[in-house]
Amino acid sequence: MSVNAVTLTELTKSFGTVRAVDGLTLDIPQGQTLALLGPNGAGKSTAIGMLLGLSAPDSGTAEVFGGGPQAAVRAGRVGAMTQEGGLIPRVTVRELVGFVAGCYPAPLPVDQVLATARLTGLAGRRADRLSGGQAQRVRFAMALVGDPGLLVLDEPTAALDVEARREFWEGMHHFAARGTTILFSTHYLDEADDHADRIVMISGGRVVADGTAKEIKRVTALTTVSLTVSGETAWLARLPGVSAVEIRGGRARLRSTDSDATVTALAEARAIRDLEVSPADLEDAFVALTAAPLPPTPETSAAR
């Protein structure tokens, strides 16, 4: 029985009065590719910082391969790609990736990694003279060149255009085939869907959903129907398909699992005024999953 690559237990971290991570518990078995999905401010980067040993939790524990995160990093079992930075001026791509390789006990050949990250043609280029997509591939190369058992990618495709995203994931699949445990965070649902075995959604620093892409998508198939209303509104909640009603400034936002039925019922009631139907976004999914509006108010969580 092999130990989990990652075990987070009741992890909590606050910044001032804001509880960024709030009792996060998560196990990642070895070999899994897991997407940590959540909107900005959900606590993804904070959780990743603790699991990499960059910051200490206020309470709870983070374990990597059954030991402390820093021990795992020191042993060369972790490769991480941070959201930005890490590229210094006056050094070439090859020098930078070669340096990181030299820090690990059993690195991959630098040329092979440069090829995987599609950087071969850029090896002699100064690391600070790259486009966003190229820089991101260099960070990726630095994360994987040590041949780590756990690869952690914090929003690897944030700020990349479509083409650069596609290129990035091509390089990544090449590597995932090696059986490495991969944890990546993203706020793109489609990205999690396409590239992960398992999706964990977090919001307000807690896990709100955990499952395969298919399971998550079923929940996110919710549509929002909004319209202008006046007078009594309790009846809206009894309409077919409606799972939640929110009234704000004369507008009603109905979450519906069956928008056709909801809209038909509204038409029959002659209630259609300024009707809008919008497909589910991630935030809607969270609302559906947590049955509570976003975000959790920091004032109500006790600051340390």
Partner 1 sequence: MIGYIRLELLRVVRDLTFVLFGIAMPVVMYLIFTNLGLAPGDEREVALYLMVSMAAYGGMGAAFNNGTGLGEDKALGWLRQLRLTPLRPVTVIAGKTVTGMAVVVPAIVAILLAGTLINGVSLSPGRWAAVICLLWAGTVPFTLFGLGNGYRLTGQAAGIANFAAGMALAVVGGLWLPTDRFPGWLKAISDWTPARAYADLARDVAFGQAPTARAALILLGWLAVFGLYAMYGYRRAGERS
**Which stretches of the chain bind partner 1, using CB under 8 A?**
49, 52-56, 73-76, 78-80, 82, 84-91, 95-96, 98-100, 102-105, 142, 146
- Sign of the CA dihedral 50, 52, 55, 60? positive
Please state the closest distance from residue 73 (CB atom) to partner 1, in A: 6
Please state the closest distance from residue 59 (CB atom) to partner 1, in A: 16
| 208 neighbors 263 (Cβ within 8 angstroms) | no
Please state the closest distance from residue 275 (CB atom) to partner 1, in A: 47
- Sign of the CA dihedral 114, 115, 119, 122? positive
Please state the closest distance from residue 201 (CB atom) to partner 1, in A: 24
Please provide residue 55's backbone torsions phi and psi, each rounded to the nearest 5 degrees: -140, 155
Cβ closest to partner 1, residue 130 vs residue 289: 130
In sequence order, the 6+-apart residues with CB closer than 8 A to the CB of 184 are: 33, 34, 35, 36, 152, 153, 154, 155, 156, 195, 196
Cβ closest to partner 1, residue 133 vs residue 296: 133
Cβ closest to partner 1, residue 3 vs residue 91: 91
Query: How far apart, in whole angstroms, are the C-alpha atoms of residue 35 and residue 212?
Result: 10
Please state the closest distance from residue 252 (CB atom) to partner 1, in A: 43
Please state the closest distance from residue 33 (CB atom) to partner 1, in A: 20
Query: How far apart, in whole angstroms, are the C-alpha atoms of residue 95 and residue 99?
Result: 6
Please provide residue 280's backbone torsions phi and psi, each rounded to the nearest 5 degrees: -60, 135
Cβ closest to partner 1, residue 148 vs residue 241: 148
Please state the closest distance from residue 98 (CB atom) to partner 1, in A: 8
- Sign of the CA dihedral 41, 46, 48, 49? positive
Cβ closest to partner 1, residue 36 vs residue 263: 36
Cβ closest to partner 1, residue 160 vs residue 208: 160
Tokens 């129907």 -> residue:
225
Please state the closest distance from residue 76 (CB atom) to partner 1, in A: 4
Query: How far apart, in whole angstroms, are the C-alpha atoms of residue 289 and residue 281?
Result: 12
Cβ closest to partner 1, residue 127 vs residue 287: 127
Q: What is the 3-state secondary structure (H, E, C) of 141-203?
A: HHHHCCCCCEEEECCCCCCCCHHHHHHHHHHHHHHHCCCCEEEEEECCHHHHHHHCCEEEEEE
Cβ closest to partner 1, residue 145 vs residue 200: 145
Query: How far apart, in whole angstroms, are the C-alpha atoms of residue 106 and residue 258?
Result: 54
Q: Which tokens is 82 given?
A: 């941070």
